[in-house]
Amino acid sequence: MALELSTAGILVKYAIEATAGTRPTTGYTAIPGIKSIPEINPEPNMLDVTPLSETEYHRYIPGLKDVGGAIGLTVNHYSDFRTAWDAMYEAWETANASGKALWVEFYIPDDESFFFRAVPSKLGFGGAEVDGVLENVAYFTPNYIAGWSTHSA
């Protein structure tokens, strides 16, 4: 029997590589205020290998996978979030200068976590409206998908 999972308690965390090219297994820091996470499901490019002799159907093989560019996380734009995002961005800038990468963990309670390597973007202003919550969209650009694994420590 399947165990359905809730989105309650999901955390977005990050860590910087201690050794370049190696995903950290400890030391992840949660980013507060995340309201929604978009799909990250790499779509393979389809390469047409149909020979001229085919008379009815095209044939394809999978090519390179495309994560679709930057992903936007909807956030509550309050000072704790902005402080955490700015600290993460600065840590990434320092790490990037020495050849190390930033890793993101989508922590799913009662399941495994989803990991990917990414480049964060600086925050802009997400707009405002009357009688609304001040929100923003914070962007990561994934450049490697590790996928599902046990939670970080």
Amino acid 92: pLDDT: 98
Q: Which amino acid is at 56?
A: E
What CATH code is carried by the domain that includes residue 106?
2.40.30
Domain that holds residue 89: 11-41+70-149
pTM: 0.89
**Range 31-55 average pLDDT:** 94
Asked if residue 37 belongs to a domain, the reply is yes
Split into its structural domains, the chain has a count of: 1
Asked if residue 74 belongs to a domain, the reply is yes
Asked if residue 5 belongs to a domain, the reply is no
Asked if residue 48 belongs to a domain, the reply is no
Amino acid 1: pLDDT: 58
